[in-house]
Amino acid sequence: MTDAIVVEGVRKRYGDKSALDGLDLTVARGTVHGVLGPNGAGKTTAVRVMATLLRHDEGVVRVAGHDVRTQAGEVRRRIGLLGQHAAVDEELGGRQNLEMFGRLYHLGARRAGTRADELLERFDLADTGRKAVKLYSGGMRRRLDLAASLITEPEVLFLDEPTTGLDPRGRAEVWASVRSLVGAGTTVLLTTQYLEEADQLADRISVVDAGRVIAEGTADELKAKTGGDRIDVVLRDADRLALVASLLPGEATVDTDRRMVSAPVSDRMAALTETVRALEAAGVEAEDLSIRRPTLDEVFLHLTKEHAA
């Protein structure tokens, strides 16, 4: 089976600024691939290239088996796009939008209408009537946008920071929709700044910085890549944080708000007993003590810092 998305050595320059600097990406069919990176890492540029909106300078991009440069029409037939900004007509109503897009996908007038109704029902927008999209809440607008991306049940769906600017409820709604899509066999490429989002949704993750992939793997693999387990010590007394940080092995980080010291460990059990002893000897009272895998946040900071160095 061929891969749904193949990106090889893609470069895109704006003047003398490089937005994509040799980007490589392979996404297997029917999987969710997370593209994770800070602002300005080139995530949106990459999506725009893959969705035929932007022409790259160098490299090869194949989406759903077709070259985005020479077979843009074929690619467009097979993709859906949810960009960062709502790509719907804000002056019109939800149904008007979906029906218009359905016609433009050449479903025919009648099928466009029934498809619009199906999607409105599925995304819980059936009662919006003629209300203009500009009067929708952020979550509703995103759901309509997502509905518009799914009119033809695309093989590949691009989601560019799908939950940016949404409240927790809107975010949960979008996540639920994405999960149900994946069950139906759609390949999803998702860009995000939220590590939790990639952790929750993506099968594999590419960490992107300065226009290229600096790490790739499953969430667990990426976590393992950055120093393995960590020990967290939560104290009653915030004044003792610095003292505890000096007792722990390795480079400890201090979170004053949560009264927590965190440090990398190699041997889980040995680290636990040693820490308990050290705390006892120093006469420090711990409220909580735990050993855990690093969060993607830590992995991300580690990777981007390493890359910058």
Partner 1 sequence: MSGYVLTDSWTMTRRELAHWARQPVQVVVGLVFPVMLLLMFGYLIGGGRGVEGAYVDFLIPGMLALTMAFGLEATMLAVTQDLNKGVIDRFRSMPMASSAVLVGRSFADMLQSALGLLVMIGVGHAIGWRWNGGFGALLGAVGLLLLLRFAMLWAGIHLAMVAGKPELVQAVQILVWPVGFLSNAFATPESMPGWLGAAVEWNPISATATTVRDLAGIPDVATGSWAAEHAALLAVAWPLVLVAVFFPLAVSRFRRLGR
CA 77 to chain CA centroid, Å, is 24
Q: How far is the CB of 272 from partner 1 (least distance, A)?
A: 52
Nearer to partner 1, 132 or 182 (CB): 132
| Residues that bind partner 1 in the complex, under the rule CB under 8 A | 48, 51-55, 73, 76-77, 79, 81, 83, 85-92, 96, 100-101, 103-106, 132, 148
CB neighbour class for 203 (10 Å; exposed up to 12, middle 13-18, buried from 19): middle
Contacts of 97 (CB under 8 A, 6+ apart): 88, 89, 133, 144, 148
Nearer to partner 1, 120 or 195 (CB): 120
Nearer to partner 1, 5 or 51 (CB): 51
Nearer to partner 1, 105 or 301 (CB): 105
Separation between Cα atoms, residue 233 and residue 14, nearest integer Å: 47
Q: How far is the CB of 100 from partner 1 (least distance, A)?
A: 6
Nearer to partner 1, 54 or 254 (CB): 54
Bridge partners, 35 (sequence order): 191, 206
Q: How far is the CB of 197 from partner 1 (least distance, A)?
A: 21
Nearer to partner 1, 21 or 89 (CB): 89
Q: How far is the CB of 43 from partner 1 (least distance, A)?
A: 15
Residue with tokens 């226009």: 211
Contacts 24+ apart (CB under 8 A), 18-23: 18/210, 18/211, 19/45, 19/211, 20/45, 20/46, 20/49, 20/56, 20/211, 20/212, 21/210, 21/211, 21/212, 22/59, 22/211, 22/212, 23/59, 23/208, 23/211, 23/212, 23/213
Q: How far is the CB of 171 from partner 1 (least distance, A)?
A: 20
Q: How far is the CB of 296 from partner 1 (least distance, A)?
A: 29
